[in-house]
Amino acid sequence: MDKDGFQLDIAAAEKYETSLVPAVLRPLAQAVLAEISIAEHDVILDAACGTGVVAREVRVKVGSKPRIVGFDLNQAMIETANSLPDPHAKSCIWEVADVTNTHYDNEEFSLIFCQQGLQYFPDKPASLKEMYRLLAKNGRFILTVWSELSPLIEAIAASVKQHIGLEAEQKALSPFAFRDEKIIGALLAEQDYAHIKLRSVGTLRVLKASSEAVKNLILSTPAGMILAQQNQQIVAKVVEEVFDKMQPFKLAGELIIPQKCHLFIATK
């Protein structure tokens, strides 16, 4: 578990939006939304929204009618979401809140998404209890957590471990530190859901096959924030090592790296 909960400064949050979101979090949101029906009368929450990619993709799918709220603990993520010129972002409400203790009403939302957040919450039972409190009767809680280690992140973790140390390695691996479907399913089952379904969603991490793209991706993560404090030789070495290890995934000028994810659909 990442004890710092994927907290980024403003520079990293902006890089997150321009690098990690298009590389993996938008494709994942699109793959998940292909599985989920949404109605115009739904009231939608994007919990631990980061820069709000799920909320924005929901807007693309369902149009301008539903109320869509996104919240995140990290001020920098919310500032970035608020500053996006995209009209889909402008039509959502972005707020800072802690997932274990939000200011929303009981049963305020009919559809709650939490994409790649659970693994970073220090108090997982409390966060799931709060999501249940906010969900309307018959509402759905859509939870995604990576189900397998990415070769890209494994390469980053090995390199930062060698050149920086164990804390950087642990931060690099944090997206995958909580992925046992039985444990997650049991935590969800502590709430009184009518049913809980588990599916597997496959997506691809796609980024330009350039060392610059690899560098930007690394710098948009908590491990990258540690890397950014190192000297230029170490940064260049890590980027070079990771880029070299990704060569088997190179296709037509891009790195295309498969990634699998648990998709839990819990209905109240």
Question: In this complex, which beta carbon is closest to ligand SAM, that of residue 39 or of residue 177?
Answer: 177
From the CB of 4, what's the least distance to ligand SAM, in Å?
A: 9
Question: In this complex, which beta carbon is closest to ligand SAM, that of residue 178 or of residue 243?
Answer: 178
Instruction: Give the SS3 label for residue 202.
Output: strand
Question: In this complex, which beta carbon is closest to ligand SAM, that of residue 6 or of residue 249?
Answer: 6
Rounded Cα–Cα distance for residues 28 and 13 (Å): 18
Bridge-based pairing of strands 254-267 and 195-208 is: antiparallel
Question: In this complex, which beta carbon is closest to ligand SAM, that of residue 110 or of residue 127?
Answer: 127
From the CB of 49, what's the least distance to ligand SAM, in Å?
A: 5
Instruction: Answer yes or no: are the C-beta atoms of 223 and 160 closer than 8 Å.
Output: yes
Question: In this complex, which beta carbon is closest to ligand SAM, that of residue 28 or of residue 209?
Answer: 28
Instruction: Answer yes or no: are the C-beta atoms of 92 and 69 closer than 8 Å.
Output: yes
Query: Bridge partners of 199?
Result: 263
Rounded Cα–Cα distance for residues 223 and 170 (Å): 8
Rounded Cα–Cα distance for residues 92 and 45 (Å): 10
From the CB of 65, what's the least distance to ligand SAM, in Å?
A: 23
Question: In this complex, which beta carbon is closest to ligand SAM, that of residue 131 or of residue 227?
Answer: 131
Residue type, 145: V
From the CB of 221, what's the least distance to ligand SAM, in Å?
A: 8
Residue nearest to ligand SAM (CB): 50
* Both tokens assigned to 144: 């995604």
Q: DSSP for 117-185?
A: -GGG-SSHHHHHHHHHHHEEEEEEEEEEEE-S--HHHHHHHHHHHHHT-HHHHHHHHGGGSS--HHHHH
Rounded Cα–Cα distance for residues 10 and 81 (Å): 11
From the CB of 192, what's the least distance to ligand SAM, in Å?
A: 23
From the CB of 15, what's the least distance to ligand SAM, in Å?
A: 13
Interface with ligand SAM (CB under 6 A): 5-7, 21, 25, 48-50, 53-54, 72-74, 77, 98-99, 115-117, 120-121
Question: In this complex, which beta carbon is closest to ligand SAM, that of residue 5 or of residue 224?
Answer: 5
Question: 139 exposed, middle or buried (CB, 10 Å; 0-12, 13-18, 19+)?
Answer: buried
From the CB of 98, what's the least distance to ligand SAM, in Å?
A: 5
